[in-house]
Structure 1
Amino acid sequence: MTLLQMRYFLAVCRCQNITHAATELHIAQSTLSQSMQALEDETGLNLFLRAGRTIVISQAGQQLAQKLARLLQQVDQVEGEIRDMAMRHNKVRIAIPQQQASYLLPYLLSEFQQQHPEIQLDITEPYGLEAARLVRDEKVDLAVINSDDSSLPDVHYRRLASRPICFVVWEDHPLAGRTSMTLEEAAGMPVAMLSEGFYVTRVVLRTMHQRGLTPNVRYFSPHLSTLYSLMRHHVLPAILFERSLAEMPGLVTIPFTEGLKLTGALLTKKNRQSSKDQRLVMKFILEKLSAIPSQE
C-alpha cells in the first residue's frame, strides 16, 4: 500500500463518490477506480458497499480509514519538519558584538546578501563572552569576537588579524594632529569608554592597572552610538578598537605607542560539521577581516 493509495482511499471515504473524489484529486475516474480495486485486492478487505453511483464505506473500510488518517497525519508532520529543516539549512545564525558588527554588518547585509539572496542571516549583537557561550550552546552557528583566548571550552578558535586600540578625538580637537600617544597621557585625560563587559575596555583597564595608572573615565556606555554622539558633539574623547570606527566621518584615531591591540577571532563549535551556507559566510567574513592588513 503506497502513500498515494492511502490518500486516494481517504478522499473516496470523504466524498463517498468516485467521480467527486477523482475531481477533488485531479485524476481520471478510471485511475481512481483501478487504484481502489487494487487496494481491496492487496488488503483482502471489502472496503466499499456499492449501490449504483453511491459508495458506502464498509465497517472494515471505516476502521482502515481511521488508521490511515492517523498514519498520514504523522507523515504530514514529518514532512513539515523536514521542510522546516531545509529552511533552517538556508539560515546562518551569527553572533557579532558591536565593535565587529559596526564594520561587518554593512558588508554582510548588502554585498553578501546580494551575492547569496537564498541565505537568510540571523544576526545578534551580544557581548564577546556571551557570543562564545552562544556558539558553545549551539544557539548560533558562528561568532566573530575580539579575544586572544584560544582556550575557550568546546569552541574552535580561528585567529584573525590584530587591529590597534586607539585614543579617538574629533577633527578639530587639540590632539587631532598627533600620530601617537602614551597610555600615561591618555590616563590623564577625561574619556568615555564602552562598558566593562567589552573586551576592549577590559584590556585597556588591565594594561593601565599593570602600569599603575588610573584612567579618568567620565562615562561608561554599553552602546557605540552613544560614544559616537559624545565625540561628534565634542563632549569627550574615547578609547576604542580602531576597526569599530570604520567609515565614521569626522573622527581621528591616535594609536598608543605601547602598541595596544585587539585580536579578532572566528568561533565555531568544536566537532560540529559546518553546512555549505555557513562555510560561505565564514569565507566572506575571513576575506573582509583580512582586507585591511594586520597591524603586527
Structure 2
Amino acid sequence: MKKIAVIGSGTMGNGIAHAFAQNGFPVSLIDISEEALQKALGTIAKNLDRIVAKGNLTEEQKAHTLRNITTYTSLQEGVQEADLVVEAATENVDLKLKIFRDLSTFAKPEAILASNTSSISITKIASVTERPANVIGMHFMNPVPVMKLVEVIRGYSTSDEVTRQVVEITELLGKIPAEANDYPGFVANRILMPMINEAIYSLFEGVAGVEEIDTIMKLGMAHPMGPLQLADFIGLDVCLSILNVLHEGFGNPKYAPCPLLVNMVQAGHKGVKSGQGFYTWTHGSKELIVADRFKKK
C-alpha cells in the first residue's frame, strides 16, 4: 500500500493523516469543508511543533510530513488513487453507510476500505459495498499521534489477506495492532463504556462528586485519568452513541445510558469539544474546573 486517503478532518481524521504522513505515506485528507481542512492542517502543524520541541523530529521532517498531505473537498477525487481508505467521519451509522456506498463506486476495486468507527458493525458497513472482503475496522485511539494501539476489527467477510495487510501497515506506523471480531463495541468500548456509564450513574445517584469519582479511579486503580474526565475527552455525544449501539446490539439493560448522560448531550454539554461537560474546559488551558452544577453544595 502506497497511497492513503483519510475521510474526515476532525480530531481523529487529522490525527490519522498525521500518523501516516509522518511515516512517509502520501495522504489525501478529505472533508466537505475547506475551512475544516485548513483547521486540520493547522492542528497537524502544531502537533508536529510539539514533537520538534521534544527533539524527536527535525524541522525538515516536519516540512516533509506536511508536504505529504493533500486536501480535497471531493470524495471521488480524493480516493480515486488510494490503496487504503480510512473513514474517520462522525460516529453516525447513516453517514458511514453513505460514505461506503460511494467508496464502492469511487475507490479502486482492489483498495482496502477501513473504518475508524468505535462501535458500529464492520459487517453492516461492508454489506453496502460490492467488496465486503476488502472492508475492515481500524480503530485508532485518541490522540492518534501518541497512542500506540490500533484495534483491527474483522467483519464477517473480511479476508485474511486484507487483515494481514492492515496489521502490517499498522506496524509500519510504529503502532501495535490488536485483532478483534465484529461484535458491538468490539473490545475497547465494550469494556470501557460500561465503566464510564457506571461512573456517571454514581454521580447521578449521589454516591460521590465528580472529583471524588475520578480521584478514586486514578489513585485506587492506577488509571491515568478518571472516567468522567475521560468521557469529556472522548465526547459525551460519542459515549452516548456507543452505549446506544451496545444496548441495541446486546439487548441487555446493563448497557442502557444513564439519564444524566442523555440530558447532558441533549443540552449540548459534550465535554471538551463544547467547553462544558463534567468539567468546564477553559479555552487554551488544561485547567479543569468542575462544572458548577456538580459542585458540592
Q: TM-score, normalised by structure 1?
A: 0.23
**More strand by percentage:** 1
Higher Cα radius of gyration? 1
Higher relative CO (Cα under 8 Å, sequence separation at least 6) belongs to 1
